[in-house]
Structure 1
Amino acid sequence: MAWRDAKASKGRLLLFMSSIILGIAAVVSIQLFSTNLKENIQRQSKSLMGADFIIDSKQVPTARAQAIIDSLKPGASEVNFVSMVVFPKQGGTKLVKVRGLEGNFPFYGKIDAVPASAANRYQESGGALVDAALLLQFNAKVGDSIQIGKLTLPIAGALKSIPGSSTFSSSVAPPVVIPYRFVAATALLQFGSRKEYQYFYKASDTLDLKRLEGKIGPLLDLENADLDTHTSTTKRLGRRYDNVGKFLNLAAFIALLLGCIGIASSVHIYIKEKLRAIAVLKCMGASRLQSFLIFLIQISGIGIIGGTIGALIGAGLQDLFPYLLKDFLPFTIEMRISVQPIFMGVCLGLFMSVLFALLPLLRTWYVSPLAVLRIEEQAAQEPKKVQIFVFTAILAFLYVFSWWLLRDALYALAFVAGTVITFALLAGVALGFIKALKHFFPKHWSFTIRQSLLNLFRPNNQTVVLVVAIGLGTFLISTLYFTKDILLAKTEVEQEAKQANIIILDVQPEQRDAVVKSIKAKGLPVLNNIPLVTMRMHSIKDRLVNELHRDSTRQVKGWILNHEFRTTYRDTLIASEELIKGKWVPELKPGDPVVISISDNLASDANLSVGDPVMFNVQGVLMETTVGSIRKVDWAQLQLNFTIVFPKGVLEDAPKFNVLTTAVADEMGAAALQNDVVTKFPNVSIIDLRQVYSLVEDILDKVSWVINFMAFFSILTGIIVLIGSVRTSKYQRIKESVLLRTLGAKNTQILRISAFEYLFLGLLGSLVGILLALVGSWCLAVFVFKEPFVPALIPFLVFLPGITVLVLAIGLSNIQTVLRSSPLEVLRRES
């Protein structure tokens, strides 16, 4: 019976099926991609690191750390640091990451260079491997020279990739690889220089890396060094990309939810039209269970077939994600198809189709045989207890599935709550619009407009489901554009005299006055001249750091115990700071107890409060201090912020170096300043914030492209739901149109009535979606980013008219049958 009825209604059932196919396809493709990504990370973890494990230190290893390093016999070693380089022939300068390598690195993977032989011969020949993109930027080629500090080397090859470099870090500071033996000749490793020493190892097959990490790791921690294995790198990378996968999964899940709501709405009208036939079946002796199972089998079939088709489409779509995310992945992904995500897609299609269609399906259970004789419009209603049970089951499933995607109970609850609130707001606006329309109906408007408005709240209207479908898709994409503008506003370069956009780092005390003179000689202001003093914590609240290292129950975060703090001293707070506890002390007199100000995140991680004692090791000299105040620091602002600030009168005689900032009006001025300063002072590094802002904007563009792609699933699903909803109510609309034609209405009038109805629906749905996105983005800007909110115009100029026209086109295509045929012909065909 289910098969016979399905054949008679195959057009509608196919539309129901298409509502979930895209959602299943999105979920399956992302699940397959995430599975492949994890497998590739595990498979290529050694190649990403270039070794089985690494020991690294931010300073020259101590005697005990060096003894451990030598006992394990490293196969290769490296010192890396960030510095400016000069291309003498081209006259350009650039901030790069210099990697001085010695030994047979890498043990896994390879250095990809042009020519290929340069990767093996650069140490022997004494040349440099320079990032290929950097060579293109300065129009340099193999055979030219590069100046690094006081050292000039020939360019031996164009470096395309090397283990240990990420796409993002290479964008900020491209890698330049030189032989280790030449590092000292650069004269760049001076006091305060940021550097890292790394020792690479290839382990035997019998070595247990986890056991080694547990045994050697704590000993190295005491010496301010770290041991990092390829397995721990795998976990770290896995967590990083797992967050991307979770976001994409949620975006796909929203598309699937939208399709399921479309099914619920369409099945509601479909079953309502079948209730009289069900009553006839019951008069002929069919039981409640039989009549229920007829339609349950139909919906189950839709779910299984839709889930299978969606899973197969998803298997094909997964190949797009490596292309979309290639700029964020440090390796090439080999794609494979696994069974689990496809099986999950089929099961998800079945379960969600049945679950969301259950409420209208249950109405078949409560249809009375007397419904054959009754002519009232009111259909049989299931008891309230049944409705509550079904809604609870839907919410429980949404929570369980969200938890399975996120692996976090609180985030899953927040996602479900946010989804329910968004759907409720969209539905509430639609219902409120209908109620307002009934109450303030424009009785004096023209007949066609009045009739189109009446259609919005006629029996079997689709106003609520269409507003939800259209509004959610518009909401997703509009929110993307609004929030992208907020993020860009955080990194916008304002052309003001007081806005620093050039930062000069690692200026030694004897160089400071000369660098200031060079800046002023260019007619530029010196906006900041900030002294930096490096130090480590010796004890926290009278407990030695070495003692805290060994205490597994400590309440102090591990990073603090090994961290080399770069601190400063001044007498005022800056714009990115706000005093939240204690008293700000601007200056101390000789002999006064030393009080310091710390950031709120340091206070939390070190378990410190106002009045707690902290002892620092300042270049070998111990200094007792007390926490005098705690500041809230806005780290999102691209300026020099500090976790620890001393008052004036304490650190003036300590070994230090300086950071200077200035503002340059244009790119030519920035290049001239950099060339002049780097030529005179090769050890300094210069960060051009214009390049950083451009990089951030480029990354945001790429991220928004990925989000747009995912929002496309929601928009496309919304369109299919729209088509399904329109087609489902086609019979009722045809009857109305035929009656109007019989009463003398012309084709143009019927066309206008339908056109106005879909125009109102399209405008309402897209406008509500944009306004919700506007409110949500305003809250983000004001309460999270603390930025003035200026909304983008694209949602208003493109999405609002574009989606409205799309809704109008789909709606009008449905009425063509009536317009081309006589009323009698239409009635005969439909019956």
Structure 2
Amino acid sequence: MKKSLATSQLNLPWLFKMAWRDAKASRVRLLLFMASIILGIAAVVSIQLFRDNLKDNIQRQSKSLMGADYLIDINETPSERAQFIIDSLNPVATEVNFVSMIAFPKNGGSKLVRVRGLKGMFPIYGEMKTQPQTAAASYQNNGGALVDATLMLQYNVTPGDSIKVGVITLPIVGALNSLPGSSAIMSSVAPPVVIPYNLVDKTELLQFGSRKEYQYYYKAKAETDLDELDKVLDPMLDAENADLDTHTSTSRRLGRRYENMGKFLNLVAFIALLLGCVGIASSVHIYIREKLKHIAVLKCLGASRQQSFFIYLIQIASIGIIGGVIGAIIGIGIQAAFPYLLKEFLPFDITVTITTQPLIMGVVLGFLIAILFALLSLLNTWFVSPLEALRVSDPNGLKKPKLARFIVFVTILLFLFLFSYWLLKNTIYAVGFVTGMLITFAILVGIASLTMKLIKTCFPKSWGYTTRQSLLNLFRPNNQTLVLIVAIGLGAFLISTLYFTKDILLSKTAIGNTAQSANIILLDVQPEQEAAITETIANNDLEVIDNIPLVTMRIHSIKGMLAKEAQEDSTVTIRRWVYNHEFRTTYRDSLISSEELLEGSWTPNVVPDEVIPISISDNVAEDANVTIGDTIVFNVQGVLMETVVGSIRLVDWGQLQPNFSIVFPNGVLENAPQFNVLTTDAPSESSSAQLQRNMVTKFPNVTVIDLRQVYTLVEDILNKVSWIINFMAFFSILTGIIVLIGSVRTSKHQRIKESVLLRTLGAKNKQILKITALEYLLLGTLGSLVGILLALISALLLAFFIFKEPFTPSVIPFLVFLPFISLLVLGIGLSNIQSVLKSSPLEVLRREA
């Protein structure tokens, strides 16, 4: 033993043995230190593993999701040139789909469905699962229908029963269990019903103004480069209002969609890991300060700088590795639940693959954050003198290794930047987060230092003994003010930022109320049907709330520039979809509840012999690059109509009611070919069902949307989204609480020695309690208050720059987090001295030694 201490060479077995012995004596503090690592790593691993699994599943199943290598889709009957391009590529299957009402003659039930008329071999990839299985191959030849299996259960129908689609009645030949490209959400809103393509015209459902989509499916040759095919054909098809979509582009698009959904989860992971880093830094700082005497004794016995340094480095690195392994295992368990929670959002089942990657990532991250955030404190061991074993001195007076500390600090910043960039995939966001953390840290350090200076300068000498003793604890040697205010403040800051951000995201999912309480919408009402449908509504003891005329049109030119000219001019910033889109417009004399005027003035009625002023939504104004006074010429079923932008509106598309991008004043479109949308309010489910039965029987082309059902579905989805966001927010808040417990708990031994000294000098238990309570209450209140106020500013910046949403601060952090964190710090502080109050001073000192 003496030989190993005397030598300056590193003796690894001895170092590990010493690290283990010291760890056993400090196991409670080190377990709290490890808990910070475990929870941070668990959040990162679970979210990253799920993201990787989702990406792999999308890439692996991209052909099955589409059902083909590529497809061409168009929202109108193809033009002659479009049809030539479509036919020249030899489609394997053809589809026309549209939303319509269907009826079940067996029980008089009716339902809004998506009718898919198919011919040819579809799907080329994947499988159409039916019951019986043979129905998928025979329905086209048998002239029957495949009906969504859940829908059949709801309406108590079986194969052999019939279904009425438009004016024809078809036999149900099978139950449809799954179809490429369908998700639970889509199927819940409008369940699929598949019929032979040649029967679609016989249904008489596709009339003027009906929304429909034609899709043509293709199987590519082995040598075909789909990206190159897209580059060549897409401009040609765009000119004909058609679009080419490949399975590779669909895969990328789906990946982006679900990656966007994961941005908040990535933010949670980042905050959870930061909380772990705060816990490590604060815990190790106090832990090492208490070990300086031990290190001095070791040096008295002959241990070198390197040996004393590596004893604690090995100890902390081991804890980081063990915490990383445990955190990775917990993260693997958490991510296994994500596919179940998110299944409604996904058009396929996710196969969770467990690999060694998350375990390796957890170990590496645990090791790195443990070492990096402990190094600043560990460097202090390097300059401990053997005389410190005998001296009563302030550890803060030790020589500071400035260059080494600077290098470590820069390395920590680089690690935070690289980690945030890895999570957020955005350099600006990564720099912003790291800068924000630096500013927050600097403000907390400044406030802690200012607090000590103010108390020392304006010390209330006339106050009572216990109060003065508490305040002295805040600035005298061995004080914990700086460490605890920074740790508590950062914890409160990160927790509150997460809570405020959660509120911003959940506010985006709020469902708007429909105008005038309408809960039934009737679409595609033809002019000759309007009077009869109005009478039918009245016969059901209901009244028409809105009768909205719709006129379809396309943009012919913008500011004198035709679509072809805009596409050929690379300097034009008009988005291509603006020219290709078929707009459904309306006319009225006033704004509705979901609209807000941003620019210009509203014109209720047209003025004779003047250019027609129209109102457009802000998104169309941005994509069309137009502002007040710019001219737009529309093609209204072959008639060119010149208009001028009179106003720009902000439209709340989240409200479940008919909203429009373009609105004309009265006195312009009344004589144009049009159809109507009617709304009414059905007070009960039975009255809604009765109206739908009457409509599907008398007017099969009219689509009836029951908003009551839509609300139920959307609320169910939003509840799941809210649950995920709340769960992950709670997960990080729990991490923050563990960090706070660890940071305050590790100060226990310093306060025990001081409290024992006070008892030895004659202080009573009540006095010691009051001194400790006031100190920790001040630290907890000040740290958490500053942290929450900084979080308020942070959330405001996030809402404005990243989420681009209005921000209404919640009072919960002030009413709940502030007192809770303050009382938590107080409770832990008081628990730290329980042994002093229950035992004799000599017994406590022996136990601590």
TM-score by length of 1: 0.87
Could you tell me which of 264, 268, 283 is aligned with 1:266? 283
Matched with 1:668 is 686
Q: What are the residue-to-residue correspondences of 1:136-175 with 2, within 5 Å?
A: 136-175=153-192
**Secondary structure of 2:61 counterpart:** helix
**Secondary structure of 2:527 counterpart:** coil
**Secondary structure of 1:61 counterpart:** coil
**Secondary structure of 2:585 counterpart:** strand
Distance 1:771 1:460, change over 3 A: closer
2:473–2:775 CA contact under 8 A, matched in 1: yes
- The one-letter amino acid of 2:555's match is M
Separation in structure 1 between the aligned mates of residue 282 and residue 47 of structure 2, nearest angstrom: 27
Deviation per CA, 1:258-308, whole angstroms, max 9, x where unpaired? 111111001111221233444566677877666555544443343344334
Deviation per CA, 1:600-647, whole angstroms, max 9, x where unpaired? 221221222333333222212233333333333333333332222222
Matched with 2:649 is 631
Q: Deviation of residue 592 (structure 1)?
A: 3.1
The answer as to 2:424 corresponding to 1:411 is: no
The answer as to 2:28 corresponding to 1:7 is: no
Separation in structure 2 between the aligned mates of residue 604 and residue 706 of structure 1, nearest angstrom: 34
Matched with 1:91 is 108
**Secondary structure of 1:625 counterpart:** strand
Matched with 2:528 is 510
Could you tell me which of 125, 144, 148 is aligned with 1:131? 148
The answer as to 2:223 corresponding to 1:202 is: no
1:76–1:102 CA contact under 8 A, matched in 2: yes
More moved, 354-363 vs 335-344: 335-344
1:111–1:161 CA contact under 8 A, matched in 2: yes
Matched with 2:511 is 491
- The one-letter amino acid of 2:694's match is D
- The one-letter amino acid of 1:732's match is Q
Identity %: 62
**Secondary structure of 1:177 counterpart:** strand
Distance 1:492 1:64, change over 3 A: closer
Separation in structure 2 between the aligned mates of residue 769 and residue 81 of structure 1, nearest angstrom: 54
Matched with 2:202 is 185
Distance 1:587 1:173, change over 3 A: same
Q: Deviation of residue 599 (structure 1)?
A: 2.1
1:151–1:185 CA contact under 8 A, matched in 2: yes
Distance 1:676 1:782, change over 3 A: farther
Q: Deviation of residue 533 (structure 1)?
A: 1.0
Q: Deviation of residue 229 (structure 1)?
A: 0.8
Aligned pairs, number: 826
Matched with 2:566 is 548
More moved, 646-655 vs 116-125: 116-125
More moved, 713-722 vs 757-766: 757-766
Separation in structure 1 between the aligned mates of residue 491 and residue 419 of structure 2, nearest angstrom: 24
The answer as to 2:363 corresponding to 1:363 is: no
Q: Deviation of residue 767 (structure 1)?
A: 8.2
- The one-letter amino acid of 1:244's match is M
Could you tell me which of 82, 85, 88 is aligned with 1:71? 88
Deviation per CA, 1:92-134, whole angstroms, max 9, x where unpaired? 3322211111122111111223333333333233332222333
Deviation per CA, 1:731-773, whole angstroms, max 9, x where unpaired? 2243345446556778798789878988888888888888888
Matched with 2:595 is 577
Deviation per CA, 1:563-611, whole angstroms, max 9, x where unpaired? 1111122233334334444444333355433333322221221222333
Separation in structure 2 between the aligned mates of residue 323 and residue 72 of structure 1, nearest angstrom: 40
**Secondary structure of 2:604 counterpart:** coil
Separation in structure 1 between the aligned mates of residue 164 and residue 791 of structure 2, nearest angstrom: 51
Distance 1:177 1:750, change over 3 A: farther
Could you tell me which of 487, 496, 512 is aligned with 1:475? 496
Separation in structure 2 between the aligned mates of residue 650 and residue 454 of structure 1, nearest angstrom: 81
Distance 1:508 1:456, change over 3 A: farther
Distance 1:580 1:725, change over 3 A: closer
**Secondary structure of 1:156 counterpart:** strand
2:748–2:829 CA contact under 8 A, matched in 1: no
Could you tell me which of 648, 656, 671 is aligned with 2:674? 656
Separation in structure 1 between the aligned mates of residue 453 and residue 104 of structure 2, nearest angstrom: 72
Across the aligned residues of Structure 1 and Structure 2, the Cα RMSD in angstroms comes to 4.0
Separation in structure 2 between the aligned mates of residue 570 and residue 765 of structure 1, nearest angstrom: 57
Distance 1:517 1:420, change over 3 A: farther
2:618–2:649 CA contact under 8 A, matched in 1: yes
Distance 1:381 1:643, change over 3 A: farther
Separation in structure 1 between the aligned mates of residue 800 and residue 264 of structure 2, nearest angstrom: 24
Distance 1:789 1:135, change over 3 A: farther
Q: What are the residue-to-residue correspondences of 1:369-448 with 2, within 5 Å?
A: 371-372=388-389, 374-377=391-394, 379=396, 380=398, 382=400, 390-417=408-435
- The one-letter amino acid of 1:203's match is A
Could you tell me which of 533, 546, 550 is aligned with 1:528? 546
Distance 1:210 1:485, change over 3 A: closer
Matched with 1:683 is 701
The answer as to 2:363 corresponding to 1:350 is: no
**Secondary structure of 1:531 counterpart:** strand
Matched with 1:239 is 256
Distance 1:788 1:550, change over 3 A: closer
Distance 1:304 1:600, change over 3 A: same
More moved, 109-118 vs 546-555: 546-555
Unaligned runs of at least 5 residues, structure 2 = 1-13
- The one-letter amino acid of 1:303's match is G
Distance 1:172 1:382, change over 3 A: farther
**Secondary structure of 1:617 counterpart:** strand
Distance 1:88 1:442, change over 3 A: farther
Q: Deviation of residue 787 (structure 1)?
A: 8.5
TM-score by length of 2: 0.85
More moved, 664-673 vs 173-182: 664-673
1:427–1:468 CA contact under 8 A, matched in 2: no
Matched with 1:328 is 345
1:474–1:766 CA contact under 8 A, matched in 2: no
1:81–1:196 CA contact under 8 A, matched in 2: yes
Could you tell me which of 86, 92, 110 is aligned with 2:127? 110
More moved, 703-712 vs 259-268: 703-712
2:488–2:740 CA contact under 8 A, matched in 1: no
Q: Deviation of residue 224 (structure 1)?
A: 0.8
- The one-letter amino acid of 1:827's match is L
Could you tell me which of 482, 485, 491 is aligned with 1:464? 485
2:76–2:212 CA contact under 8 A, matched in 1: yes
**Secondary structure of 1:363 counterpart:** helix
Could you tell me which of 682, 691, 706 is aligned with 2:724? 706
More moved, 187-196 vs 680-689: 680-689
Distance 1:525 1:754, change over 3 A: farther
- The one-letter amino acid of 1:629's match is S
1:582–1:628 CA contact under 8 A, matched in 2: yes
Separation in structure 1 between the aligned mates of residue 299 and residue 753 of structure 2, nearest angstrom: 28
Q: Deviation of residue 71 (structure 1)?
A: 1.6
Deviation per CA, 1:473-514, whole angstroms, max 9, x where unpaired? 7536744774576346x41548xx923332221111112223
Deviation per CA, 1:353-382, whole angstroms, max 9, x where unpaired? 222223222333454566456423352263
**Secondary structure of 1:510 counterpart:** helix
**Secondary structure of 2:152 counterpart:** helix
Distance 1:588 1:487, change over 3 A: closer
Unaligned runs of at least 5 residues, structure 1 = none
Could you tell me which of 586, 589, 612 is aligned with 2:630? 612
Separation in structure 2 between the aligned mates of residue 773 and residue 85 of structure 1, nearest angstrom: 53
